[in-house]
Amino acid sequence: MIFKPTLNKNNKLNKRLMTIKDKVVLITGASSGIGAATAKMLAGQGAKVMLLARREEKLHDLVSDIGDSAEFAKVDVTDYDSVNAAVQKTIDTFGKLDVIINNAGLGYLGPMEEAAVREWKTMVDVNVTGVLNTIHASLPHLLESQGHIINIDSVAGHNYFPNAVVYCATKHAVKAISYGIRVEFRSRVKVTNISPGAVETEFIDNFTHQATKEAMTKNFEDVLKADDIAEAILEVLAKPSHVVINEVTIRPNK
C-alpha cells in the first residue's frame, strides 16, 4: 500500500510535503524492511524512486506495486562499478538525483572469540564501503541539485553492546562519515544521520551465532516498525530548503 497521509489542506505539514513531489530518491537496501517502506511512502508523496538491492525478484514486485514512479537496479553496494551504473541509470531514467538514502546494511552478532573473520569483513564491506561507494558515485549529481544524503545508522553508532563489537564499529563509522560529509559540503548538500533502535526487519535473520540469535529474538518483540523510520525520513525531507535536520534517534518506547 502506498502511504498517503490524510491531512487538512491548510496543514503546514501538507504544504511542506509538496517539497517532496517530483524529487528523485535513490534507496539502497530497498527490497524489504525500512528501504521498501520508505520507497512506498515517498512515492505516495509524488517522489520518483530508484530502488537498489541484490534481490531482483523482490525489487520487481515492489516496483510493480508502486507503479511508474519507481525503477530498480540489481546492485551489490560493495561493488563500486555496480553502484555507479545504478546512479547513471537513475539519471537516464529520471533526469536528475536529489536524495540518496544509504539504508543497505547487515549485522552478524556474537561473542568476539567465536566470531568468523569473514563476517567482520562482510559487515565492513556492506555497512561502510557500501555507504562510501553510494555517496561517491552520487555526489556530482547531488551537488548539482543541492541535494540530500540520508544515512541510516543505528543506536549502535552511539553506544556499544555486548557481542556486537564490529557491528558497533561499522555504525560508528557511518556516523563519522555523516559528520565528515556535513563539514566538507555544508550549504551545498544536506546530510542527515538517522539512528533507529530495534526495528521489525530481517536484521536478526542473518545471525549465525545461534545463542545470540535466540537471545536477541526476545529483544525484537514490540519494537519499531519499518514505517516508523519511513515517516521520520518523510519528515526530514519535508523541511524547507533553509532547514536541515542533522541527527535523528528513534527508539521503541519500552
Written as tens digits, the pLDDT of the chain (254 aa) is: 444 444 444 455 566 666 798 999 999 999 999 999 999 999 999 999 999 999 999 999 999 999 999 999 999 999 999 999 999 999 999 999 999 999 999 888 877 777 678 888 999 999 999 999 999 999 999 999 999 999 999 987 888 878 888 999 999 999 999 999 999 999 899 999 999 987 776 555 665 555 555 566 666 667 889 999 999 999 999 999 899 999 999 988 76
Which is catalytic among the residues 108, 160, 167, 179?
167
The yes-or-no answer on residue 80 being catalytic is no
- pTM exceeds cut of 0.75: yes
Question: Cell numbers of 223, please?
Answer: 519494537
Asked whether 66 and 39 are in contact (CB, 8 A), the reply is: yes
Do 192 and 175 form a contact (C-beta atoms < 8 A)? no
The residue written with cell numbers 540489481 in the block is 74
- Report, in angstroms and rounded to the nearest whole number, the Rg of the chain calculated over CA atoms: 18
Residue 25 bridge partners (DSSP): 49, 99
- What strand order describes the sheet that includes 24-28? 70-74, 48-53, 24-28, 99-102, 148-152, 190-196, 247-250
Architecture of domain 12-249: 3-Layer(aba) Sandwich (3.40)
d(CA 51, CA 30): 5
CA distance 106 to 34: 12
